[in-house]
Amino acid sequence: MTAPLRLGTRGSALAMAQSGQVAEAVTAATGRPVELVEVVTAGDRSNAPVHRLGVGVFVSALRDALTAGTIDFAVHSYKDLPTAAAGGLHIAAVPARQDPRDALVARDRRTLAELPPGATVGTGALRRIAQLHALGLQLEVTPIRGNVDTRLARVLGPEADLDAVVLARAGLARLGRLDVITESLDPMLMLPAPAQGALAVECRVDDQDLVELLAVLDHAPSRAAVTAERAFLATLEAGCSAPVAAYAELAEGETGDEIYLRGAVISPDGTRDLRLSRTGTPADAAEIGKALAAELLELGADSILGHEGHTGPGTQQFGSTE
């Protein structure tokens, strides 16, 4: 009898849900049984704001377990991964990406435009805080932490103390909670984090049998989009305090598929908001991201990043999907 593959995952409801979905997909595609192995990360043990926790706080323990051989593969929210490559490890698959938009959950089913001046909106991401300020809606934006249920309770629970929260739509979808969304935010208003909505299925590079087995889950359009977004992020060398956003879409062009990449760097108070876009072929995804970042740097994005702690390549940490 074939031994189950050991899939490492964080223990939150969202992490367990998305890992469970990957496990089911692996078994359906290959016939191999998969068991979930919970791994506690540094980010799970801390209540500090995400942007103060450091690099890879939701990732490093899983990667340590992979390297040690106590698990066979891991599932990450791709936006949690630092852009620097991890030695000896390989992203074997990027499954089809969930809708990467941010979602508003508000009292009385209000949309963002219907929130009155002074309404309190909670979110854990500086990227979202910066863009909410940039909209000029006179909202009171409050940093929050916690899993999805904890955040929703701040709006929908009996002791609710906020008028709205902004979460990743993908996390709500994976938990079967799309019913609570009052508005899926147009990327023109709220550009997502690089790789938001995407998962990374990671294993050891020397486990070639598993590399080949997991490759069946890979979704080429999702991988190309994420590659462009993360190349943009890496080229900016943005630190964990820098609100950086990017969203790549694939569409049919005159000569085949094209990537349309939008990127932004926004000061936390929303007073400086630099946005550009660029197109190219999926084969050039990384180069598109690098070129768009270079254009924004020429426009002064480095001064925004520098004010917020320019820390060098591979140090990005945008926090858990939750």
Cα–Cα distance measured from residue 25 to residue 33, given in angstroms and rounded to the nearest whole number: 10
Edge-first strand order for the sheet with 273-280 is 244-253, 256-266, 273-280
Cα gap 112→99, rounded to integer Å: 19
Task: Choose the catalytic residue: 44, 64, 72, 80.
Answer: 80
Place of tokens 């889950």: 217
Question: Whole-angstrom Cα distance, residue 75 to residue 66?
Answer: 11
- For the chain, report the end-to-end CA distance as a whole number of angstroms: 37
Distance CA 56, CA 240 (A): 10
Q: How far is CA 262 from the centre of its chain?
A: 16
Place of tokens 């009171």: 140
Residue 80 appears among annotated catalytic residues: yes
Distance of CA 98 to the CA centre of its chain: 11
Which residues have a catalytic role annotated? 80
